[in-house]
């Protein structure tokens, strides 16, 4: 019992940045979707990611052949050869990617002290959000995996490796294809949970109109990028950091321009559709002269 307690404590204290990101995910997701949907997705997302990792280290599917180096199982939680924190990280990466796609796809209403995405059930569950969100999650891994592979040079530690060095700073392309598949499945499951859980006309427990709430998920997304690029620079991998920076310049610029151009350019029908699906929305307040 005492050993389990120390392992539980070590799981958090050894990876405080992971649990800080997970806490930020809860702050962003609960006011958006409610406690019940977030709890279900957290469990489902963890199980999907764990199965994908367990499968890959034993069969090479879907990420290609890689292996974990068991050097910390006496100090943090491992399950069937997979570190707990690693599969857990997929959950907040999937949500913030989904939220970022939702911000880009949805009409936006803004006023001086707030901003609301005029999302609808249809937009939330659309293929556009699914496709774009899964790509956003893969792009995160393009930044995360190369520096994680250098874990011996920073506080992550060398916890895994690939049987054969890949072409992208040691990471094989199969890893990114696998991430796209798993990201697609995770966000699809999130959309299914959103569709099937809870009464549509009742405000879910935990949902709240916090100021600028639609930006919380995208800010988490940018924070993960900044953290990993910061570590990349810190360990002296300047080319890797520069490559990661250039990978994101164009998609983030396109996203920013798209959001700015669409802000307060919604149609009255889009606002009405949003309020029909979410009558408790903060979009009922604020005046916007530019709306049509």
- The number of domains in the chain is 1
> Which structural domain, as residue segments, surrounds residue 227?
2-284
pTM of the predicted model as reported, rounded to 2 decimal places: 0.94
* 87 has pLDDT over 80: yes
Residue 137 maps to a domain = yes
| HEC sequence for the chain | CHHHHHHHHHHHHCCHHHHHHHHHHHHHHHHHHCHHHHHHHHHHHHHHHHHHHHHHHHHCCCCCCEEECCCCCCCCCEECCEEHHHHHHHHHHHHHHHHHHHHHHCCEEEECCEEEECCCHHHHCCHHHHHHHHHHHHHHHHHHHHHHCCHHHCCCCCCEEECCCECECEECHHHHHHHHHHHHHHHHHHHHHHHHCCCCCCCCCCCCCCCCHHHHHHHHHHHHHHHHHHHHHHCCCHHHHHHHHHHHHHHHHHHHHHHHHHECCCCHHHHHHHHHHCCCCHHHCCCCCCCC
Specify if 122 maps to a domain.
yes
Specify if 165 maps to a domain.
Answer: yes
For residue 289, tell me if it sits in a domain. no
pLDDT at residue number 7: 87
Residue 203 lies in a domain: yes
290 located within any domain: no
| 292 within a domain of the structure (yes/no) | no
Give residue-wise pLDDT tens across range 173-232: 999 999 999 999 999 999 999 999 976 668 899 999 899 999 999 999 999 999 999 999
């Amino acid at each position: 019992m005492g050993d389990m307690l120390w392992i539980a404590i070590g799981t958090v204290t050894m990876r405080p940045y992971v649990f800080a990101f997970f806490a930020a995910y809860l702050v962003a997701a609960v006011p958006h979707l409610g406690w019940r949907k977030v709890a279900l997705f957290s469990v489902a997302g963890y199980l999907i990611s764990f199965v994908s990792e367990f499968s890959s280290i034993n069969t090479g599917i879907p990420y290609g052949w890689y292996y974990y180096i068991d050097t910390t199982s006496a100090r943090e939680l491992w399950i069937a050869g997979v570190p707990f924190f690693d599969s857990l990280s997929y959950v907040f990466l999937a949500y913030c990617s989904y939220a970022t796609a939702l911000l880009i796809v949805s009409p936006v209403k803004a006023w001086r002290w707030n901003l609301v995405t005029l999302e609808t059930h249809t937009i939330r569950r659309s293929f556009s959000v699914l496709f774009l969100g899964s790509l956003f999650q893969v792009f995160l891994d393009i930044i995360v995996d190369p520096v994680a592979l250098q874990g011996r040079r920073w506080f992550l530690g060398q916890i895994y490796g690939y049987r054969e060095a890949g072409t992208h700073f040691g990471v094989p392309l199969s890893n990114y294809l696998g991430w796209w598949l798993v990201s697609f499945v995770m966000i699809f499951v999130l959309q299914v949970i959103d569709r099937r859980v809870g009464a549509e006309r009742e405000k879910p427990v935990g949902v709240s109109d916090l100021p600028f709430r639609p930006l919380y998920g995208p800010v988490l997304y940018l924070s993960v990028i900044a953290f990993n690029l910061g570590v990349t620079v810190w360990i002296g991998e300047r080319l890797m950091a520069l490559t990661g920076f250039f990978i994101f310049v164009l998609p983030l610029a396109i996203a920013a321009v798209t959001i700015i151009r669409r802000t307060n350019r919604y149609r009255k029908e889009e606002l009405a559709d949003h309020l029909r699906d979410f009558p408790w929305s903060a979009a009922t307040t604020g005046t916007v002269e530019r709306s049509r």
